[in-house]
Amino acid sequence: MIKVALPNKGQLFEPTMDILSSCGYKVSKSLRSLSTMDADNQVEFYFLRPGDIPLYVANGILDAGITGKDFVAEKCVSPTCLLDLSYGASKLCAAVPVGHAAKTLADLKGSKIATSFPNIVRGTLPGNELVELEGAVEISIKLGIADAIVDIVETGSTLKAAGLRIIGEPLFESRAALYAHPGREKQEEVLILKSRIEGKLLAQEYMMVEYDAPEALLKAACAITPGIESPTVMSLEKSSWFSVKAMIKKRESQRILDSLSKLGCKGIILTAVDSVRI
């Protein structure tokens, strides 16, 4: 039985629940629940603040967890990153009022900066007074306790609504990731968790194509769809005709269908892939 930390709220919560459910895990959160057991898969899930998850995993209290890379960097700990995930993309950016004179990050030197990520800011914008806040950072300037802010930006709409604008390059770029306590990444249940999630992510890149091809075109058709190792080829009841099945890259799928059709293949079918192991 392994113990796995999951974000209890925020932009990481829903996609994390979705991907785990699609991987066959029984995971659900009621209003008051802090944990849930999946006995069939030998996993106990704990719902925690995303910013606390790095500490629980790095210190070995829990075996693994899913959280943002920004939270790991902020806690200055080093759990083992097993897998980058396909969601939770965000940037840690500096922002000032629209009418502020600052144009670059260097222009903020000596400013009072409000942020929920003081460690990252100290490392990237030294020489500033920091106001450490738990949330609602964008309101701090209006309330007169800061000259600028550094906060997580997804779309920028919240900053715009607060009359702020981003300056300079992002201080940190983040996304969700699967972590394990160092030394526990080889536990069977952790390996299975990683493999299942990896299979779902890989499936987003592939599709399955099936088609019929006459013997005279078979070699050329298989060259268009070589598959992972090789395509599956089966003879049809109709003499000198074959059924071919192969995995193809999703981004190339329409071009491949065009090529097969032009070549003279028939009954071409393209289907989505739910999960893969390569």
Q: Is 107 helix (H, G, I), strand (E, B) or coil?
A: helix
- 181 and 75 in one domain? yes
- The answer to whether position 277 is within a domain reads no
CATH code for position 108: 3.40.190.10
- 97 and 26 in one domain? no
- The answer to whether position 61 is within a domain reads yes
- What range does the domain containing 231 cover? 205-272
The token pair that represents 139 in the structure block: 């309101």
| Residues 170-194: tens digit of each pLDDT | 999 999 999 999 999 999 999 999 9
The residues, ordered by sequence, that sit 6+ positions from 15 with a Cβ below 8 Å of its Cβ are: 85, 87, 88, 176
pLDDT of residue 156: 80
List beta partners, residue 153. 91
| Residues 47-83: tens digit of each pLDDT | 999 999 999 999 999 999 999 999 999 999 999 999 9
Residues of the chain with pLDDT below 70 are: none
What is the value of pTM for the model shown? 0.87
Could you tell me which of 43, 189, 171, 183 has the C-alpha nearest to residue 116?
171
- 247 and 121 in one domain? no
- 180 and 170 in one domain? no
| Structural domains of the chain, count | 3
- 156 and 220 in one domain? no
- 187 and 169 in one domain? no
pLDDT of residue 236: 96
Centre a 10 Å sphere on the Cβ of residue 180 and count the other Cβ atoms it contains: 26
pLDDT of residue 154: 80
pLDDT of residue 56: 98
pLDDT of residue 61: 97
The token pair that represents 263 in the structure block: 């070549």
- 223 and 168 in one domain? no
- The answer to whether position 247 is within a domain reads yes
Inter-residue contact 124 to 172 (CB < 8 Å): yes
Torsion sign over Cα 23, 29, 34, 37: negative
DSSP type of residue 83:
E
- 149 and 95 in one domain? yes
What is the overall mean pLDDT for the chain?
Answer: 95
| Residues 83-97: tens digit of each pLDDT | 999 899 999 999 999
